[in-house]
Every structure is written in structure tokens, then in C-alpha cells.
Amino acid sequence: MKYILALDQGTTSCRSIIFNEYFEMISMAQEEFTQIYPHPTWVEHDGEEILRTQIKTLKDVIKRSGIDVSEISSIGITNQRESTIVWDRETGCPVYNSIVWQCRRTADYCDELEEKGYSEYIKNTTGLTIDAYFSATKIKWILENVPGAKALAKEGRLAFGTMDSWLIYNLSGKKDHITDYTNASRTMLYDINNLCWDEKLLEIMDIPASMMPTVVSSSGELSYLDESILGRSIPITGIAGDQQSALFGQGCVTYGDVKNTYGTGCFLLANTLDEKIDSKCGLVSTLACKDDGSVCYALEGSVFIAGALIQWLRDEMGLIHSAAESEYYANLVDGSDGVYIVPAFSGLGAPHWDMRAKAIITGLSRGSNKNHLIRASLEAIAFQLNDLLTALREDLGENIAVLKADGGACANDLLMQLTADIAAITVDRPKNIESTALGAAMLAAIGCGMYNSVSDMPSRVTDKKFYAGYSPEKRETLLKGWNEAVKMCRSHE
């Protein structure tokens, strides 16, 4: 038996998972790391801590599994996307903490880019809507705010990377400075038409091209784990940003295949293969993987607050003790009785893109109780997802019948059923909901020659399907209420 090691560098934790050649999970190690909030809307991570944590889980999982290092054929890496780290090539040390994807510190500069009329150019070149979420403005912030950084960058001493680059630089014994297409496409500096860094955007943001990693395929002989780490060199043959990795892990490699990851936020992606679709409805275009791991396009919509709303009910409101309890209370009522919650805690993402919208609760009556609020929260996740699916259906010009679900919150059956009802779609939940790590392992398996493509691999197994049950009238009434609530929370800039 041969094994594959998947490294999943997430937003709150690092995980290492060993899969066998049938993609069965053999062993897992996970460890959280510190979230740093220097200001209310700023989020940072310590790059050195992430590296230490990732290496610790890597060593732990091998110990736990009892597998000999020589039995590991290859390594796949998947990571939180967009989060930005800049390091000095001479010392190998970061010049600043990693600025996390959630961080809003560059929102004003994004407004400036928009005012200067760059929206269309950026959309056409990178596929993205200007937002503080993506890496470009975070790199600019570091160069402008860390003393001496700009001068070092101009001398060619500084390197930029997303977490995949940072990990591989260190895991390869500081030999390789690379990233893959899927991660590059989230920087707002990468030309997804011509597959190269865009010189004009680098110039606009005053970022030296020498900082940028070499962009490689998501699958192939990409780098090597230095033998100092496990006593043996192991090829790194798969890399993908977490959402594209989950898309691949769900086997979404046919045109129009759609998955949603229900985590802190919701991330909906549809594979569009060779077709780069210019969304008219607030989605972004990004790079993803085809059946054989080669590069292709996808449409993406992200909602910032989904599972995080359930955490808020637990931690700030004290209405539940655990996220899983939300299902129990929401099931005690058969509807939310006109209550709507729009969780715009950090503005609204796709398809509305309103950085300054504020969260609201509407439709309260004297009879509204805790159960209604909890149910309205689960419904809010489903409504947001429906907004993304409506945009996607319009952009693709076709109906989407099936949504493949994964992520922590997809364990909630009621949430899956509400998605099916509200979005009029069949929700298909797989047995293995660890799609993100699975995708990285699948890419690595192709990269090391174990398989040629997803079609050759053991097929994905469905755990449960949820079918749409609302009448068109009921759905329409509910959507009307939701749309009114969204209108009320908009900033009307």
C-alpha cells in the first residue's frame, strides 16, 4: 500500500492527513494557532507559528499512523487563500505577520483604485472584483508600512507568498519560491487570460516583480520536502487553494459542476473548464483544476459569514452551547415566523459586494423567541447561498440541479434541507466531508503518477441527498422577505 500526505493549512488550524491509495483517511493531526487582532477590523497570523504548527502536525500524523516515511509517495498542500506574507530571502524571516484574507485594513485603498477607474481592467485581467480580501493591496500595505521594506524589495531581497509559497519555501529547505495557478489567481495581480503576473498591476501597486513566486501547475513534480524534516526527501506533487482543492475533492471536473463549502463563510464554486465567464451578477472568475489536474476556469461566489453566524449565537448571544445544538432548537419551530437575520458583520460579499453594510434582524414580533432566531440564522445561510446560486444560474444560463456540500456546518441536516428548499436544488453530501484535504491528496496522486485523472479514481460516495420541498409560492414569499431585509442593511453609498 502507498500513502499520500495532505497538508491543510487553514485559517484557524493546521492539519495533516494521511490517505491510502483508495483515498481512505488513515490518520489525522490538527492544531490551532493564534488569531491576532491588532485593531477591530484587522486580522493577522504569525508566519513562523504557522510553519511550526504545520510541521508539528506533519510529524504527529506520521507517528500516529504507524506508517514508515518510505511508504509515503507524495505530499499535497492546500491552504487558506489570499493571506499574504512577505519575507527576506537572506534571513528567511518574515518582515511582518501574515495579513489574513479577512483583514479589511486596505478597504480605503480599494476605494481609491475604484475611483481611479481600475475596476474594469482588474476584472478583465484577474477575474476579480476590487476588494481588500485579495492579496495585492495587502502586499502594498506591508511595503509601505514596514520600515525599510520598500528599499529591500527594490533590491530584490523580499519575497511574497500566500501560505502555500511560505510553507513550500521552508519545507524545501529554502530552495523553491513557487505558488500554483489557483493561489496565484487570488492575488489580484495575476493575468488569468495569459497565465502570467500582470506588469501593469504590479506597477500600479508599486510591487517589484522580483517579489513574486514562480507559478506552477497544481499537479506534477513541483518541489521536494527537505530530508532534514522527516529524514527522507518526499516529492510535493499537488498544490491548490482550499476552495479549488475542495472543488476537485468533490469530483467537480465537468462543466457546471458546483460545490459549496459550509465553513466560517460559504464558498460556492462552479467549474467552467476552458470557458472564462465574465460574471454579470457579482461572481468572480478564478483558476481551478480539470480532471487531470491541469488549469481551467471556475466561477466563484463567497459569503463571509455563514457558520460564523452560528458561532455568534453561541459565543456572543449565548443562545446555544454548541454549533450542533442550533439544529435541535431550530427544529422546535416549523418556520422563523417572519424573522430574518442578515449577517453582514463584515459587510456583504458576493453577489452584493457592499463593504459597509451592517448586520440586521428584522420582522420581530412579541411572539418571536430564541428558536425563531436560531432558525432564522440557519435560513440566513441558505438565503445567502440562494443569492449566489441565482447569480450562478444566470451567468451560466442554465439551471443547476445538484449542489455538492462539504465543510463543518454540512453536518447539520436541517441546514442542508433548508438549502434544498430555499434554493430549489438537490443537495448531495458525501461520506467524506474533508473535501479540501482530499482534493490536495488527489492532485498529489496525479502528480506522482499514481492516477492519471479523477475519472480513474475510486468514485465519490454520497452520504445523503436532500430534495427541494417548498412550493413555488412559499419560496417566493420567503425570498421576498429576505430581499427586503437585505435592502434594509445596505449602506446605500
Q: DSSP labels for 75-99? A: EEEEE-SS-BEEEETTT--BSSPEE
Pairing state between β 295-303 and 266-273: antiparallel
**Smallest gap, in angstroms, from Cβ of residue 264 to ligand ADP?**
3
Residue nearest to ligand ADP (CB): 408
Please report where in the chains the cell 409560492 appears, as a residue: 473
Q: What minimum distance in Å lies between the beta carbon of 88 and ligand ADP?
A: 30
State the nearest-atom distance from the C-beta of 152 to ligand ADP, in Å: 34
Angle between helix 163-171 and helix 47-65 axes, rounded to 10 deg: 60
Strand partners, 477: none
Burial-class residue 398 by CB neighbours within 10 Å (0-12, 13-18, 19+): exposed
- Min. distance of Cβ 13 from ligand ADP in angstroms? 7
CA distances in angstroms from 203 to 114, 179, 197, 288, listed in the order given: 16, 21, 11, 26
- Total Cβ atoms within 10 A of residue 473: 8
Choose which of 308, 373, 380, 382 interacts with ligand ADP (CB under 6 A).
308
Distance separating alpha carbons of residues 99 and 82, to the nearest angstrom: 9
Segment 3 to 32, residues that bind ligand ADP, using CB under 6 A: 10-12
What's the min distance (Å) between Cβ of 135 and ligand ADP?
Answer: 19
Q: Which of these segments, 107-115, 308-316, 332-340, 466-474, binds ligand ADP (CB under 6 A)?
A: 308-316
Q: Could you tell me the sign of the dihedral formed by the alpha carbons of 430, 436, 441, 444, in that order? A: positive
Backbone φ and ψ for 197, nearest 5 degrees, come out as -65, 140
Residues within window 359-418 making contact with ligand ADP, judged by CB under 6 A: 407-409, 411-412, 415
430 binds ligand ADP (CB under 6 A): no
Question: What's the min distance (Å) between Cβ of 421 and ligand ADP?
Answer: 16
Closer to ligand ADP at the Cβ: 216 or 320?
320
Judged by CB under 6 A, which of 264, 271, 285, 286 binds ligand ADP?
264
The CA radius of gyration of the chain, in Å to the nearest whole number, is: 22
Residues 160-199 that bind ligand ADP (CB under 6 A): none
Name the maximum alpha-carbon separation found in the chain. Answer: 67
**Does the protein bind ligand ADP through residue 258 (CB under 6 A)?**
no
Strand, helix or coil at 444?
Answer: helix
- Minimum CB separation of residue 309 from ligand ADP in Å reads 8
Q: Which stretch binds ligand ADP (CB under 6 A): 97-105, 306-314, 392-400, 460-468?
A: 306-314
Instruction: State the number of binding residues for ligand ADP (CB under 6 A).
Output: 19
Establish if 311 lies at the interface with ligand ADP (CB under 6 A): yes
- Our CB check for ligand ADP shows the closer of 183 and 264 to be 264
Residues forming contacts to ligand ADP in the complex (CB under 6 A) are 10-12, 263-264, 307-308, 310-311, 323-324, 326-327, 407-409, 411-412, 415
